[in-house]
Amino acid sequence: MSTLSNKRIIVGITGGIAAYKSAEIVRRLQDRGSKVQVVMTPSAEEFIRPLTLQALSGYPVHADLLDPEAEAGMGHIELARWADLLLIAPATADFIASMVHGRGNSLLSAIYLATSGMVAVAPAMNQGMWSHPATSDNMQTLRQRQVMIFGPDNGIQACGDIGEGRMQQPDVIAEQVANCFETGQLSGKKVVITAGPTREAIDPVRYISNHSSGKMGYAMATAAIEAGAQVTIISGPVALAAPDRCTVIRVISAAEMHSSAMAACADADIFIAAAAVADYRPASVAEQKIKKHTDSIELKLEKTPDIVSTVANNVKDIFVVGFAAETQDIETYARDKLQRKKLNAIIANDVSRIDVGFNSDNNEAWWITSNTSQVFSKRSKTQLARDIIDILSKQIDS
């Protein structure tokens, strides 16, 4: 059974009799490891109570587009950014039509218009409504917009008719959601990713480090695994669970990360240097804890090994992606690093902002090559990682 470990999914419920199945969909998605929030249209509340879904999901159920508390923080925009996937189940004929025409007259439709993640619908309607040319045209439009369609099934309907239009069963929908994250774009490729900070010892109890949480590197590893790659993650000290189906090498210092990266990259196709490696380390490490005898001490620092540059300049036939964590002139500094270190591409982000970057669940980044530059607006790190893997796979294939 495919997992949905740490995936963030919004289940949108519209007003159809199949809404009673939505509670089971929430449970099946959670069983696979995902975090689920529920958004309901006003008509959906006539079929199933929000309290039931709140108890199952563990989150408040969202329903009101003009909720003063939510809208103070642009609630529908934040929900759209939160989600890796928006699943609308059931999706009625009326709501599907509103999606096609871009109406934002409900919270759910506004989230659909604002989302940067994947979108899927599980249609549920009378067989006559499903077979109508208007519905057929609407479904074709959604497919052209890369909206995934789950079902519908054929069988006896609530009205007594027999035909196509029933919403698929919850376990089938959960399996299709899991399959959405298996892209195969890097099938057969070996990918090495560094993640997290390094720690450079001053004495047995103190060290130099930084604020990196490792979340971006681990999200990149997960996205690469989803794309079918064989992934090795070389991780500094982080408080994150390792992704499934990858090799994890745990290190502390820049020197250890350098040694591990060179060994792992010897037969790799792609190297993504997402770790925040300390640029300098103490030239000597005290054997015993330094006591507080004076008002000040001096530390002599020396450069740590440049991991991404070493790989780029010494390993043949490998596509190297660097990261540039900057606080000003983001693209300028990133492009300089790209050229100076002879990288194939670089991902740059602004770590001076508290809403993205270090320790945040969100990020905003530039993808830069020698002749291109693309900006990814603020979104979850899991979605950003998926977007980067997508553009990376196309770059390799071109």
pLDDT in tens, 288-330: 999 988 888 899 999 999 999 999 999 999 999 999 888 888 8
Distance of alpha carbon 45 from alpha carbon 290, whole angstroms: 64
Helix (H, G, I), strand (E, B) or coil at 12: strand
Distance of alpha carbon 180 from alpha carbon 147, whole angstroms: 11
Tell me if the pTM is above 0.75. no
Burial letters 304-337, b for 16+ CB under 10 A, else e: bbbbbbebbeebeebbbbbbbbbeeebeebbbeb
Average per-residue pLDDT for the chain: 90
Distance of alpha carbon 274 from alpha carbon 191, whole angstroms: 12
- Asked if residues 16 and 92 have their Cβ atoms less than 8 Å apart, the reply is yes
Q: How many CA atoms lie within 13 A of 17 on its CB side?
A: 8
Band (75; pLDDT cuts 50, 70, 90)? low
- Asked if residues 88 and 112 have their Cβ atoms less than 8 Å apart, the reply is yes
Over the stretch 123-170, which tens digit does the pLDDT of each residue have?
Answer: 999 889 999 999 999 999 999 999 999 989 887 777 677 778 899 999
Please give the positions annotated as active site. 159
Structure tokens at 123: 């249609």
- Looking at residue 71, its pLDDT comes to 46
Q: How many CB atoms lie within 10 A of CB 268?
A: 23
Q: Is the pLDDT of residue 121 over 90?
A: yes
Q: Boundaries of CATH 3.40.50.10300 in the chain?
A: 190-397
Q: Is the pLDDT of residue 397 over 80?
A: no
Structure tokens at 50: 């929000």
- Looking at residue 2, its pLDDT comes to 61
- Looking at residue 315, its pLDDT comes to 96
Distance of alpha carbon 398 from alpha carbon 381, whole angstroms: 25
More confident residue, 82 or 170: 170
Q: Boundaries of CATH 3.40.50.1950 in the chain?
A: 8-180
83 φψ region: left (φ > 0), alpha (ψ -120 to 50), beta (else) = beta
- Strands 118-123, 85-91: pairing is parallel
Over the stretch 83-101, which tens digit does the pLDDT of each residue have?
Answer: 889 999 999 999 999 999 9
Q: What is the mean pLDDT of residues 171-189?
A: 89
99 φψ region: left (φ > 0), alpha (ψ -120 to 50), beta (else) = alpha
Query: Is CATH 2.60.120.10 the right assignment for the domain spanning 8-180?
Result: no
For the chain, helix, strand, coil in percent to 5 are 35, 25, 40
- Looking at residue 79, its pLDDT comes to 84
Distance of alpha carbon 14 from alpha carbon 35, whole angstroms: 20
Which residues fall within 8 angstroms of residue 197, CB to CB, at 6 or more apart?
209, 210, 211, 212, 214, 236, 237, 238, 275, 276, 277, 278
Top CATH class of 190-397 equals alpha beta
Over the stretch 348-393, which tens digit does the pLDDT of each residue have?
Answer: 988 787 776 676 778 888 999 998 889 988 888 888 999 999 999 9
Q: What is the DSSP letter of 15?
A: S
Task: Please report, as a single letter, which amino acid is at residue 96.
Answer: I
187, β-bridge pairs: none
Q: Is the pLDDT of residue 72 over 50?
A: no
Least confident of 226-235, 279-288, 378-387: 378-387
Dihedral (Cα; 15, 21, 25, 28), 10-degree rounding: 170
Q: How many CA atoms lie within 13 A of 50 on its CB side?
A: 15
- Looking at residue 359, its pLDDT comes to 67
Distance of alpha carbon 2 from alpha carbon 10, whole angstroms: 19
Distance of alpha carbon 287 from alpha carbon 207, whole angstroms: 13
- Counting Cβ atoms within 10 Å, is residue 111 exposed (0-12), middle (13-18) or buried (19+)? buried
Q: DSSP for 127-182?
A: HHHHHSHHHHHHHHHHHHTT-EE---EEEE-TTS-EEEEEPPPHHHHHHHHHHHT-
